[in-house]
Amino acid sequence: MDLQAINFTTVVYRDSLNVAIIKNVVTVVLCIFINFINGTLVHTFRKHQVFNMNPRYILYIHLVLNDMILLTTFTLVYVLSYIVYTLNVSFCMFLLSIAILSNVNNPFTLAVMAVECYIAVCFPLRHSLICTVRKTYAVIGLMWLIGLLTVLPDIFNALATESLDFFRSRVFCFSANVFRNPVLKERRDVSNIVCIVIIWLTLFYTYFHIICIAKLAAADNKKARNTVLLHGFQLLLCMLTYIFFLSIEGLTFLFPKGVLTIRFIISILIHILPRLISPLVYGLRDKMFRKYLRKYLPS
């Protein structure tokens, strides 16, 4: 077989052993720490009916679970990239598909949480009828369906257009190295833009309506307004994933000798630290959740 005809190798920049160990230890420790906090939140949710029968907390835990999936997937790919440098294409595609699903879910979850706040403030008498546990799980199922519709076309296109040798080859595990059709990338970019615009319009709509009500009423409504603002901040953090490669390329152009350091720092800032936001926003800010959470956190 002509090796020049089928060449799926990837150029991989490598750190020295000491630097690689430090970077991986930092990444794994942060992953364990954040997942421990988020796992404690999930455990608290499961153990107390006051939470698992409340749509607001169900949506919040869905957000936390997605953060845990994203963080675990990223850390796994990051550590494996240092241990084996390149991954089998099929395995990489599987990991990326899970990450894409979770990444799509997060902005939609934030939008639905903002709508739930809006209904609670603007239609308090109808809130219990509109926001039921059953409807909440149905909405969550719809989010996963939208995520599948986002990632399945890429998978089917790769299965239809790539050779069997490609799936047996090894690449550095980036989306562009696995889903290589440029048309699909353009379609994905357009769909991402449309979804983000819809979500931002939803946040603005709910926020300004809550502001109007908050002027007439009291602290609970002002808290809801602040919560929607925090949803907007979380959405900004979610959007950082869309500029991950652009940030690396731009900084690498300015500092070509620091490509590995740039990739590490940007990865920490975009993929890891934002996963701390959800526990800080709800686990510590919400009085009821904080009350029960104290039982499970080490004193």
Predicted local confidence at residue 144, as pLDDT: 94
Predicted local confidence at residue 2, as pLDDT: 35
The domain made up of 17-294 is a member of CATH 1.10.3720.10: no
Q: Report the first-to-last Cα separation within the chain, whole angstroms.
A: 63
Check: CB of residue 207 under 8 Å from CB of residue 228. yes
Predicted local confidence at residue 218, as pLDDT: 55
Q: Which residues are bridge partners to 88 per DSSP?
A: 170
Buried b / exposed e along 211-243 (16+ C-beta atoms within 10 A) = eebbeeeeeebbbbbbbbebbbebbebbeebee
Predicted local confidence at residue 143, as pLDDT: 93
Predicted local confidence at residue 185, as pLDDT: 76
Positions in the chain short of pLDDT 70: 1-14, 214-225, 282-283, 296-299
Predicted local confidence at residue 1, as pLDDT: 38
Closest CA to 261 of 252, 270, 253: 252
Place of tokens 């369906």: 145
